[in-house]
Structure 1
Amino acid sequence: MTDEELARKAISGNVAAFESLLMAHYEKLYYTAMKYTNQHNDALDAIQEASCKAYLSIHKLNHPQYFMTWVTKILIRECYQLLQKQKKMIPFEDVDLFKKLEGNQEAPAHASSLSAAILDLD
């Protein structure tokens, strides 16, 4: 069965056809996600999220012959969202994290010089 035929079945609600399409192109999806995330676990997370979103909106796909293009576009968007979320996270060293959790929140030495520099601005 061709990809287009499987896509038509998936659009009509056939879960097995949708799974078959994803499994047939898993390597391509994985390598695409790896190009964007550079991390195995992040790539798998992006593929999982993209697969869920594609499954939930498969009925919106108007042209079954473009199934892989459509899924790849969803995957790339997921990779960008994942990378954006990681930028917002501020990693702590273990020692700093434990100090903050224990309530020993001492201001870093450079914080006072930074505050003074900000106050000196026009």
Structure 2
Amino acid sequence: YYLMFDEQGDQLLAMTDPIAERVRKIGGLTLRSISQISKMQRIEDNNAEYVEPLDMLAELCQDNQLLAAELRKAHVVCDENNDISTASLIENWIDETERRTWFLFEACRRAETSGH
């Protein structure tokens, strides 16, 4: 799981620069602070001291499903504004997000069937 989480974290981190660059290229403002991020975030933090491994996998799966839904909404906005470049980036991110969701779903299923 560690390697899978590491790969998935790298994918998510790799999205940040292209997002910021696209926002600036089309004249928008980027996020400026941690407090601004916390006010705008749609995926809730889990501050529990301990999370069971299977629960962690399920939560990450749901978080990725939510991310895919938000990316699809953003794609609609791109289409409405003829922003082909941003739409292209979003399509790749949706594919990566669906792949992460699939891996997490399968990991949950395998853990449930193996009794772990």
> Does TM, scored on the shorter chain, surpass 0.5?
no
Give the structure-1-normalised TM-score.
0.29
Larger Rg: 1
Give the structure-2-normalised TM-score.
0.30
